[in-house]
Amino acid sequence: MKLTEIIVSPNAKTPFPTPPYLIAEAGVNHEGNMDLAYRLINEAKEGGADAIKFQTYKAETLAAKESPAYWDLTQEPTPSQYELFQKYDKFWKTEYEALARHCQTVGIEFLSTPFDLASARFLNDLMSVFKIASSDLNNKPLIDALCSYGKPILLSTGAAHLWEIEQTLSWIDTQGNPVALLHCILNYPTEDSNANLAMIPTLARKFPERVIGYSDHTLPKDMKTLEVATLLGAQILEKHFTYDKTRPGNDHYHAMDKADLQRFHGRMNRLLPLLGNPRKQPLPSEAPARAYARRSLVAARAIPAGKRIDPADLTWKRPATGIDPRDYDQLLGQMAAVEIAADHILQWNLFRD
């Protein structure tokens, strides 16, 4: 299923955990190298991602030259956003067209977050959904421009108050674009204690008509964060993706890799069947237990023909092949039509009014 189908389909929002749509956020972990970008696409597909997403920007339109870092400087020592973005803003229209073609060949959905109007114009021809980063949740001019293309919107909600999310949704709804919301904590890396996954059901309750997902910035470890997010109802998952977590740089050390993706899918393949169907009803496998582990009303003593049944005549024992104990009150006062031996499993044809 394509991402646009998940966001747009009236049946997409489910009341129970389902296999999530998983976006491998490659960002700029290609470091301006097309061979590495192709490798990221290939490994995301091999790991089981449904989509791979890049980030499209030019440093001069994204950050002022005096733009301080907000990431862990021990992992990425570049103190200026402008300087960091300059390192990785070499890809543009031609490169992204080639990457989109490669995604189509490999069989994985291509996405890229546009951070300016120019990139949005050419990305519009390459993908069916626009992603709005948490940092642009209040950027009304950009949001209005992206909505003008008439495509579904994937909106990250990191570092936002609830009223800001509501305000942004009001802008988007004015143009009628379907929207999915991603819970997100906007710091790199996010400590487990700050993940606040409880915000996922909060968003689901506050915005019951929206599909809810999660954009994760915690360290991958055992991928437990994404597992819990799924159990809490996240239907779309996004996490930074790399081919080598040991590489220096802002988005490698807190990213997942192919092995992490495969580990996550292995756990989901076991966990989701355990959850099963949320509708409460007996399973076919429980039929023997219903028949033999439940009880029937049983004669507690010999009952002569013609006797009116009183509590001393009755007990309840396994199996459930006789009168159901829920009909105990109905049986009281009935007359035995025949003599009934002690410990006999009672049937309605043994009685009359």
* Side chain identity, residue 163: W
Q: Is residue 312 part of a domain?
A: yes
Q: Is residue 187 part of a domain?
A: yes
Same domain, 232 and 348: no
Task: Take residue 206 and report the two structure tokens written for it.
Answer: 């506050």
Instruction: Please report the pLDDT score of residue 286 as a whole number.
Output: 96
Task: Provide the CA 112 distance to its chain's centre, in angstroms.
Answer: 20
Cα(105)–Cα(127) distance, rounded to whole angstroms? 15
Q: Is residue 42 part of a domain?
A: yes
Contacts of 1 (CB under 8 A, 6+ apart): 21, 50
Cα(38)–Cα(197) distance, rounded to whole angstroms? 32
Same domain, 315 and 255: no
Last residue of a domain, one of 275, 302, 336: 275
Last residue of a domain, one of 275, 303, 330: 275
- Backbone φ and ψ of 55, nearest 5°: -125, 130
Same domain, 334 and 242: no
Same domain, 218 and 330: no
Same domain, 183 and 302: no
pLDDT band of 73, cuts 50, 70, 90: confident
pLDDT band of 12, cuts 50, 70, 90: low
* Side chain identity, residue 150: G
The sign one gets for the Cα dihedral 143, 146, 149, 155 is negative
Same domain, 258 and 317: no
Instruction: Please report the pLDDT score of residue 18 as a whole number.
Output: 83
Same domain, 301 and 186: no
Cα(214)–Cα(230) distance, rounded to whole angstroms? 9
Give 21's strand partners: 236
> In the chain, which ranges are continuous DSSP H helix?
3-8, 34-47, 59-62, 81-87, 93-106, 117-123, 140-147, 162-175, 199-206, 224-231, 258-275, 287-292, 328-331
| Residue 215, burial from CB neighbour count under 10 angstroms (0-12, 13-18, 19+) | buried
At CA 110, angle to CA 135 and CA 43, rounded to 5?
100
Any idea how long the chain is?
353
* Mean residue pLDDT across the chain: 94
Last residue of a domain, one of 243, 275, 307: 275
Q: Is residue 4 part of a domain?
A: no
Same domain, 183 and 241: yes
Is pLDDT above 60 for 10? no
Instruction: Please report the pLDDT score of residue 11 as a whole number.
Output: 60
Per-residue pLDDT, averaged over 24-38, amounts to 96
Question: Could you tell me the CATH number of the domain that includes residue 270?
Answer: 3.20.20.70
Q: Which range of residues forms the domain containing residue 139? A: 16-275
Same domain, 111 and 260: yes
Quick one: which H or E segment has residue 114? strand 109-114
Task: Take residue 320 and report the two structure tokens written for it.
Answer: 């459930």
Question: Could you tell me the CATH number of the domain that includes residue 331?
Answer: 3.90.1210.10
Cα(343)–Cα(314) distance, rounded to whole angstroms? 9
pLDDT band of 14, cuts 50, 70, 90: low
- Backbone φ and ψ of 103, nearest 5°: -60, -40
Cβ(211)–Cβ(236) below 8 Å: yes
Is pLDDT above 80 for 3? yes
Q: Is residue 130 part of a domain?
A: yes
SS (H, E, C) 201-251: HHHHHHCCCCEEEEEECECCCCCHHHHHHHHCCCCEEEEEECCCCCCCCCC
Is pLDDT above 70 for 13? no
- Residue of 196 and 278 predicted with greater confidence: 196
pLDDT tens for 221-230 read: 889 999 999 9
pLDDT tens for 98-126 read: 999 999 999 999 999 999 999 999 999 99
Instruction: For helices 224-231 and 258-275, give the axis angle rounded to 10 degrees.
Output: 30
pLDDT tens for 284-301 read: 999 999 999 999 999 999
Per-residue pLDDT, averaged over 179-193, amounts to 95
Q: Is residue 7 part of a domain?
A: no
Is pLDDT above 90 for 138? yes
Q: What Rg value do the Cα atoms of the chain yield, rounded? A: 30
Q: Is residue 11 part of a domain?
A: no
Same domain, 227 and 339: no
Cis, bond preceding 319 (omega within 30 deg of 0):
yes
Task: Provide the CA 233 distance to its chain's centre, in angstroms.
Answer: 5
Per-residue pLDDT, averaged over 296-311, amounts to 98
Same domain, 163 and 240: yes
Same domain, 232 and 305: no
Q: Is residue 10 part of a domain?
A: no
Cα(148)–Cα(239) distance, rounded to whole angstroms? 27
Does pTM surpass 0.85? yes
How many structural domains comprise the chain? 2
Cα(220)–Cα(73) distance, rounded to whole angstroms? 19
